[in-house]
Amino acid sequence: MSEDKEKKAKAPKLADPIECSIDPATQEMQARAQQLGIDTVFDRAANMKPCAIGIQGTCCKNCSMGPCRLPLPKGGIEGKDDRKGLCGATANTIAARNFIRMVAGGASAHSDHGRCVAEVFLSAARKETKAYKIKDEVKLRSIAPYFDVDITVEKDGEVKDRNVDEIALEVAEKAMAEWGKPEGELYYLKRAPEALYEKWKKNGVLPRNIDREIVEIMHRTHMGVDQDYKNLIKQGTRAAIADGWGGSMLATDLQDVLFGTPTPLQSEANLGVMKEDHVNLIVHGHEPVLSEMIVAMSQKPEIIEYAKSKGAKGLQLSGICCTANEIMQRHGIPYAGTFLQQELAIITGACDAMVVDIQCIFQNLANVAKCFHTKLITTHPIAKMEQDNVIHIEFDEHHAVEDAEKIVRMAIDNFANRGAEVMIPQHKSPCVAGFSVESILYHLGGTFRGTYYTLNDNIINGRIRGIAGVVGCNNARNKHNEAHITVIKELIKNDVIVLTTGCSGIACAMEGLMTPEAAAVHCGPGLAEVCETVGIPPVLHLGSCVDNSRILLAATEVVKAGGLGNDICDLPAAGSAPEWMSEKAISIGHYFVTSGVYTVFGVTLPTAGAPVFHDYLSKELEKMYGGMWDLEVDPIKHAHKMIAHIDKKRKELGIDKARERVLMDMADRQALEA
Ligand code: SF4
Ligand code: MSK
């Protein structure tokens, strides 16, 4: 072989930029990365195929006699399935153990985030920090009763509002105890519809405290403990509920009390929000405890002046992943991009600093940052990087303002060090983001009514066919954003209103689906009419990954408003994570399913190697909780499975005829217009 040919044979494959993503900014930046000789996640995905056995969920490495690998034989299982590991563990046991360990990973990520927020909340309630205060007293008063905390006091025969500081302290202490209280069950479980709570109780899955359910998973999946896939998934259910109705819901609520409950704001999305003549500071990760301080600092006149004194026109703050969702929903700070765009933001050459905290952060960011002037700053004691170019500034609520100032000034000081290789793709889209259970109430229900009845009414009369929650990550095994956007466009075209969070929300914003104007372009006639009447986008952004708890509560409000059954599983509703990748997604999927939601995942499910366990998740769970798992890789079929489920529920509720009438009216009208 000639030397040239040999070099070529050894060279890693390069991903085709056009095949990486449907987003032009991502395509341009991927091409730019290749021009500069920098590898990205897309290139690494082209060079490393996933393990064919791991993907099936049937590789066990829970003891050193393994890993024991139990792939499905070609042609499937005929007759008896006698695959077993050295200890005798079956494919079902192994897949169930792996699955609930993913639930444990996901639930602990969300819940540990929640714990950090609760600690800051407690500090604020004790007045140990000046940086954080109770911002949303109304929200505090609305959640206090769930903790059995009084919000009124009786004095001299008169009932008065109780002092807010007293309420905050009591809520903070009770909230903190949710992670480790020795007896009882989680307070928030009673927020679920009564019928759902009774199902959990009957099936023995009411979580006792958050940490205990996660620890018990690790114990039960240890070598030689729980060997019944049904019993294993039961514990997975208990931990997932502890996430959705516990750790995540606490995170959302306490963040709202500290930083404000979101109301819709206008902003922009995609890498084009970065500005060549400004200092670009990007925050990436999950906890708003850090990013809130950075937002406040970046808006101070003296900081903007400081940026100008260094030759910049100003300071442009933007976000990636769920930190982006947090600062978007409360401040309208623009999105720089989704999970798969994190390396590309640095490759613009215009990122003066990227600040990260926890979750979804590529270690390769450090290698990319090395090629540019970018300061990469880790801030969390539990999330450091080994590379020597990474700066660690440990963030603490007791000196939060000082930490934020240090970080922002570091970004500004670095502006002068930019190289010549700046290239910011000129793509961005407008969006309206930051809905909450409370603001939907206002937009659809009217404050005087205080219910979701207008929404229910439009579902009953058929203008809105149903509700979909489409959430979750990107996955480099998929074309970036393609599945999210295809699924969501198909849903809204068929009059299904979409609630979104996480990177799915960012993808929608990038595609222009989170504007009221998108209704006329992309929606079926019924949904378009509702959106135009009330002035909302057909895709409502409800925040970050922990804010999937908002979707649970929105569904509960719909149940409460009446006319659509008495449990979440009765609603014409479905869930989806078309491009999921993280353990958090499995925990979210499982708490959706066991809260009664038919939930479809794209990409793959780590159950393919254990068909009996897979069937249990997709069929048997429905009998217990009303929801079930499904997998559909094709995004159009994926959307239509959700629509078929919605139609099934409409039929069960006896409202299928109403929709036929609405459609007939519309067709008649169109015929007349023609
Ligand atoms: Fe193999 Fe059993 Fe050990 Fe798992 S626990 S690695 S199946 S011997
Ligand atoms: S950030 S978990 S990639 S949604 Fe929450 Fe995005 Fe998924 Fe991370």
For 371, the token pair is 């090629």
For 296, the token pair is 């406040």
Cα–ligand 1 centroid distance for 55 (angstroms) = 17
Residue 444 has pLDDT above 80, yes or no: no
* Ligand 2 lined by 484 (C-beta under 6 Å): no
* Ligand 1 lined by 66 (C-beta under 6 Å): yes
> Sorting pLDDT into bands at 50, 70 and 90, what band is 1?
low
pLDDT in tens, 106-144: 999 999 999 999 999 999 999 999 999 999 999 999 999
Q: Does one domain contain both 526 and 619?
A: yes
51 occurs within a structural domain: no
Q: Average pLDDT in the 388-397 region?
A: 94
Cα–ligand 1 centroid distance for 415 (angstroms) = 53
Residue found by looking up tokens 């038919």 in the block: 598
Cα–ligand 2 centroid distance for 310 (angstroms) = 34
Residue 6 has pLDDT above 70, yes or no: no
Q: Write the CATH number for 220.
A: 1.20.1270.30
| Nearest residue (CA) to ligand 1, atom 3 | 63
Round the CA-based radius of gyration of the chain to a whole number and report it: 25
> Sorting pLDDT into bands at 50, 70 and 90, what band is 664?
low
Cα angle 429-326-104, degrees, rounded to a multiple of 5: 120
Q: Does one domain contain both 193 and 293?
A: no
**Which ligand 2 atom lies nearest to the CA of residue 545?**
5
Give percent of the chain above pLDDT 90.
91
> Which of the two residues, 671 and 335, has the higher pLDDT score?
335
Q: Write the CATH number for 581.
A: 3.40.50.2030
Cα–ligand 2 centroid distance for 360 (angstroms) = 6
**Which ligand 2 atom lies nearest to the CA of residue 359?**
8
* Ligand 1 lined by 60 (C-beta under 6 Å): yes
Q: Model pTM greater than 0.75?
A: yes
> Sorting pLDDT into bands at 50, 70 and 90, what band is 12?
confident
pLDDT in tens, 270-280: 999 999 999 99
**CA 430 from centroid of its chain's CA atoms:** 21
**Which ligand 2 atom lies nearest to the CA of residue 504?**
4
Cα–ligand 1 centroid distance for 227 (angstroms) = 11
Cα–ligand 1 centroid distance for 225 (angstroms) = 11
Cα–ligand 2 centroid distance for 356 (angstroms) = 14
* Ligand 2 lined by 284 (C-beta under 6 Å): no
Cα angle 63-68-69, degrees, rounded to a multiple of 5: 150
Q: Does one domain contain both 96 and 202?
A: yes
Q: Does one domain contain both 517 and 649?
A: yes
Quote the pLDDT of residue 8: 60
102 occurs within a structural domain: yes
> Sorting pLDDT into bands at 50, 70 and 90, what band is 668?
low
Neighbours of 557 (CB within 10 A): 21
13 occurs within a structural domain: no
84 vs 58, 230, 247, 464, CA distance in Å?
Answer: 10, 17, 36, 49
Q: Which domain holds residue 465?
A: 432-653
88 vs 84, 93, 485, 608, CA distance in Å?
Answer: 5, 10, 44, 20
| Nearest residue (CA) to ligand 2, atom 7 | 473
Residue 673 has pLDDT above 50, yes or no: no
pLDDT in tens, 252-274: 999 999 999 999 999 999 999 99
Quote the pLDDT of residue 452: 85
Residue 458 has pLDDT above 90, yes or no: yes
Neighbours of 337 (CB within 10 A): 32
Residue 635 has pLDDT above 60, yes or no: yes
Residue 667 has pLDDT above 80, yes or no: no
Contact between residue 629 and residue 95 where contact means Cβ atoms under 8 Å apart: no
Cα–ligand 1 centroid distance for 224 (angstroms) = 8
Q: Does one domain contain both 297 and 211?
A: no
427 occurs within a structural domain: no
666 occurs within a structural domain: no
Residues 6+ apart with CB under 8 A from 474: 338, 339, 340, 480, 481, 484, 503, 507, 579, 581
Q: Does one domain contain both 558 and 479?
A: yes
Spatial distance between the Cα atoms of 128 and 165, rounded to a whole number of angstroms: 13
| Nearest residue (CA) to ligand 1, atom 4 | 60
Quote the pLDDT of residue 441: 82
Final residue of a domain: which of 228, 256, 284? 256
Spatial distance between the Cα atoms of 571 and 252, rounded to a whole number of angstroms: 24
Peptide bond connecting 525 to the previous residue in cis, omega within 30 degrees of 0:
no
Q: Does one domain contain both 281 and 403?
A: yes
Q: Does one domain contain both 110 and 247?
A: yes
Residues 6+ apart with CB under 8 A from 301: none
> Sorting pLDDT into bands at 50, 70 and 90, what band is 663?
low
Task: Give just the sign of the alpha carbon dihedral 142, 143, 145, 151.
Answer: negative
Q: 3-class secondary structure for 374-401?
A: CEEEECECCECCCCCCEEECCCCHHHHH
Quote the pLDDT of residue 659: 77
- Which parts of 609-656 are beta strand (E)? 628-631
Q: Does one domain contain both 148 and 226?
A: yes
Helices (H), 21-90: 24-36, 41-47
Q: Average pLDDT in the 487-508 region?
A: 98
Cα–ligand 2 centroid distance for 505 (angstroms) = 10
Q: Does one domain contain both 507 and 583?
A: yes
What length does the chain have? 674
* Ligand 2 lined by 503 (C-beta under 6 Å): yes
* Ligand 2 lined by 269 (C-beta under 6 Å): no
Quote the pLDDT of residue 449: 56
Average pLDDT, the chain: 95
Determine the residue type at 38. I
Q: Average pLDDT in the 594-620 region?
A: 97
Pocket test for ligand 1, best of 53, 58, 59, 60 (most atoms within 8 A of CB): 60
For 300, the token pair is 């101070």
Contact between residue 231 and residue 95 where contact means Cβ atoms under 8 Å apart: no
* Ligand 2 lined by 586 (C-beta under 6 Å): no
* Ligand 1 lined by 221 (C-beta under 6 Å): no
425 occurs within a structural domain: no
For 451, the token pair is 């219910």
649 occurs within a structural domain: yes
The DSSP call for residue 570 is G
Spatial distance between the Cα atoms of 371 and 226, rounded to a whole number of angstroms: 49
**Which ligand 2 atom lies nearest to the CA of residue 286?**
5
Give the closest ligand to the alpha carbon of residue 83. 1
Final residue of a domain: which of 390, 417, 444? 417
Q: Does one domain contain both 480 and 570?
A: yes
Burial 101-126 (b: 16+ CB within 10 A, else e): bbbbbbbbbbbbbbbbbbbbbbbbbe
* Ligand 1 lined by 18 (C-beta under 6 Å): no
* Ligand 2 lined by 358 (C-beta under 6 Å): no
What is the DSSP track for 345-375?
Answer: HHHTS---EEEE-SSS--THHHHHHHTSS-E
* Ligand 2 lined by 360 (C-beta under 6 Å): yes
3-state secondary structure of 498: strand
Contact between residue 574 and residue 638 where contact means Cβ atoms under 8 Å apart: no
Q: Does one domain contain both 280 and 230?
A: no
* Ligand 2 lined by 149 (C-beta under 6 Å): no
Number of domains in the chain: 3
Give the closest ligand to the alpha carbon of residue 577. 2
* Ligand 2 lined by 319 (C-beta under 6 Å): no
Q: Average pLDDT in the 603-616 region?
A: 97
472 occurs within a structural domain: yes
